[in-house]
Homo-oligomer: A and B are copies of this chain.
Amino acid sequence: MKVGVLTGGGDCPGLNAVIRSVVRKGVQEYAFDFVGLRDGWLGALQGKVVPLGIPNVRGILPRGGTILGSSRTNPFKHEDGLQRVQDTLSEYDVDALVVIGGEDTLGVAAELSRQGINLVGVPKTIDNDVPGTDYTFGFDTAVGIATEAIDRLHTTAESHMRALVVEVMGRHSGWIALHAGIAGGANAILIPERPFDIDQVCDYVKSRFKINYAPIVVVAEGAVPQEGQMRVKDETLDEFGHVRLSGIGEWLAREITERTGSDARTTVLGHVQRGGTPSAFDRWLATRFGLHAIEAVKDGDFGTMVALRGTQIVRLPLADVTAETKKVDPSLYDEFEVFFG
């Protein structure tokens, strides 16, 4: 049997750990052959196929990123995309695919599976918002990096008695903001799932100053204020003269400064949250996902995705899991209300 492996979407700590365990188990236990498809679905479209054996995966467990490259290419956005993917697979005698990716990549996988291509999915996202699995690898690393940054910012905030806003990743879900905010002892945590009241945020800030502590506000990049709270003057012109909104972190710092009279500053953590060596938790999870994915291939259990449930790895129908983003549950968010302000 010949198995193709590809990684799609944004890079994420743990991708290499999955590739390694897929190949190690596939070769050593089932005597499968492997090829890598370069740069996600782009490699499938363009026939960019590379050899993939045990020597290629030695030493990659602790390395961030992906040795196979990645892209956001969607074959279904190309007229003859499906055909070209099928051509690549048959040209290289690929019997089955292990597809490692997030919502978009797995959505393509689900559709290809319906079209008869044998494949197994492995969920990947920094943001932890793939439904059906308790956690995705990469998330723990991102939360750890963000928490360490918040730890550091506390001392700056205290020394200058200044409010600090930390913008973390999370366009559609607030998982990183919530976990890192709780772990970092934030005084307000703003997530996309719940439009925030800027007046309440300012009240939190003021109540913190009142007891002589400096507030830290953690905000997911996709968080938004309640309707009507973002005014026209918040929009600036970009370099082409178009109106644009500044990032939510910058907006917040400006509002807090104006409304409370205390100078607030913003730090946007950005890409550092997604790069570098995976945490031990993510290496463990990614390794197990890989082992179970290749087992699913061997079982011929195609059209499925591996997922974490408690301490078990299970298989779910791909079709079920790609429908929507996993949001932060309101009751979970409310658990932590006591720490705000």
Contact = CB atoms under 8 A, between A and B. Distances in A.
Interface of A: 10-11, 13, 15, 21, 24-25, 28-29, 58, 61-66, 69-71, 134-135, 140, 143-149, 151-156, 158-161, 164, 179-180, 182-185, 213, 233-234, 236-240, 246, 254, 265-272, 274-277, 279-281, 283-284, 287-288, 291, 309-311, 335-336, 338-339
A61 B184 CA distance: 8
Contacts of A288: 335
B153 A28 contact: no
B287 A182 contact: yes
Contacts of A144: 279-281
Contacts of A311: 134-135
Given A153-B275, A182-B283, 16 more contacts: A10-B160, A21-B338, A61-B185, A62-B151, A64-B156, A70-B160, A144-B280, A149-B272, A151-B276, A152-B272, A155-B276, A179-B280, A236-B236, A237-B237, A239-B254, A266-B270
Contact of A284 (B15, B179, B238): B179
Contact of A164 (B25, B146, B161, B271): B271
A25 to B, nearest CB: 5
